[in-house]
A and B are shown apart, each in its own frame.
Chain A
Amino acid sequence: LAKTTQPISMDSYEGQEVNITCSHNNIATNDYITWYQQFPSQGPRFIIQGYKTKVTNEVASLFIPADRKSSTLSLPRVSLSDTAVYYCLVAGGNNRLAFGKGNQVVVIP
């Protein structure tokens, strides 16, 4: 499984756009990049997945440069309820995911 590196934590003010970065220098050709969100006392929840360039859904956007060695999850206009741990994962042709410790994002009023 390709290893990912994320900041341990970050703060952001309510209403701002939050960009969460992830490094995955050893990503393989058939790996996809996946992001999950976990609120306190809940299981992780799938947010978005991509392979290259840009993917957008109703929750977030995922930006992946051409070399795919990093990715950025963008959350538009965060609210207090977006305070959570965000996990960046890369995975290949099976369903096995390595979550690690994630990035604690705290949204401040």
Chain B
Amino acid sequence: DAGVIQSPRHEVTEMGQEVTLRCKPISGHNSLFWYRQTMMRGLELLIYFNNNVPIDDSGMPEDRFSAKMPNASFSTLKIQPSEPRDSAVYFCASVEGGASYEQYFGPGTRLTVT
């Protein structure tokens, strides 16, 4: 298996633009997580899905952020409009299910908003 796949790996955009980050979880994994990492705040959970259904989105910063999981093999995290403070590395992770804490992380998307 190729592991968790994220695209793009790097994104540079101007303030006010829409940004869409993509994630393909490991096949057979039924939970998916979006995280954001910055030097100041560390690694923060934004939202997680179980069987394609959003379970906990309490970490989503504000209405500018939205996440979808239309099927078991694809998820998106959208920021509209983007702001410089959104600059961070965004990770996607998946887990096989049950009470498993062995999450498999993707390589991340480094987002820079100028």
Query: CB within 8 Å of B: which residues of A?
Result: 32, 34, 38, 41-46, 49, 87, 89, 91, 93-102
- Say yes or no for B31: interface residue by CB 8 A criterion: yes
Interface centre among A49, A99, A102 (most CB of B within 10 A): A99
- Chain A residues within 8 Å of B95, by CB: 95
Q: Which of B62-70, B74-82, B103-111 is the interface stretch?
A: B103-111
Query: CB within 8 Å of A: which residues of B?
Result: 4, 31, 33, 35, 42-45, 48, 50, 55-56, 91, 93, 95, 99-108
Q: A95-B48, A95-B95 are in contact. Are A102 and B42 (CB under 8 A)?
A: yes
- Chain B residues within 8 Å of A43, by CB: 4, 91, 93, 105-108
**8 A–B contacts from the bound complex (CB under 8 Å):** A46-B102, A89-B101, A93-B99, A95-B100, A97-B101, A99-B43, A101-B43, A102-B43
Q: Are B99 and A97 in contact (CB under 8 A)?
A: no
Min distance, Cβ A85 to any Cβ of chain B, angstroms:
9
- Chain B residues within 8 Å of A91, by CB: 101
Q: Are B45 and A97 in contact (CB under 8 A)?
A: yes
